[in-house]
C-alpha cells in the first residue's frame, strides 16, 4: 500500500510525532502505517483538505503552519504523509 520512499520517510522521521520509535525496521514501519490508517497526499492543498475533512480547527493557520504539524511528514517528492493516529 505504501511505496518505499513513503515508508523510509516515516522510519527516518518518526520521532517528530512520537517520543520513542514505534518501528525499527522497514517492515515494522510499513505495518504501523497500515494499522494507523496513514494517508499519502500529493500536495499542500490536499493536506489542507484532509484536515478540513477531519474537522481540525485551522483558524489562523497558513500553508507553512499546517506543514509544521507533527503528524505531517514531507516525503520529499511533493507528497506528504499524514499519520491519523
Domain boundaries, the chain: 4-82
For residue 12, which of 24, 51, 82 has the smallest C-alpha distance? 24
Query: What pLDDT score was predicted for residue 16?
Result: 96
For residue 81, which of 52, 53, 47, 58 has the smallest C-alpha distance? 47
Note the pTM of the prediction, 2 decimals.
Answer: 0.91
Query: What pLDDT score was predicted for residue 46?
Result: 96
Query: What pLDDT score was predicted for residue 15?
Result: 97
Amino acid at each position: 500500500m505504501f511505496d518505499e520512499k513513503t515508508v523510509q520517510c516515516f522510519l527516518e522521521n518518526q520521532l517528530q510525532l512520537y517520543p520513542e520509535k514505534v518501528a525499527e525496521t522497514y517492515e515494522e514501519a510499513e505495518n504501523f502505517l497500515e494499522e494507523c490508517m496513514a494517508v499519502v497526499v500529493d500536495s499542500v492543498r490536499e493536506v489542507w483538505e484532509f484536515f478540513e475533512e477531519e474537522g481540525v480547527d485551522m483558524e489562523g493557520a497558513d500553508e507553512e503552519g499546517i506543514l509544521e504539524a507533527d503528524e505531517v511528514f514531507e516525503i520529499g517528492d511533493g507528497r506528504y504523509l499524514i499519520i491519523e493516529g
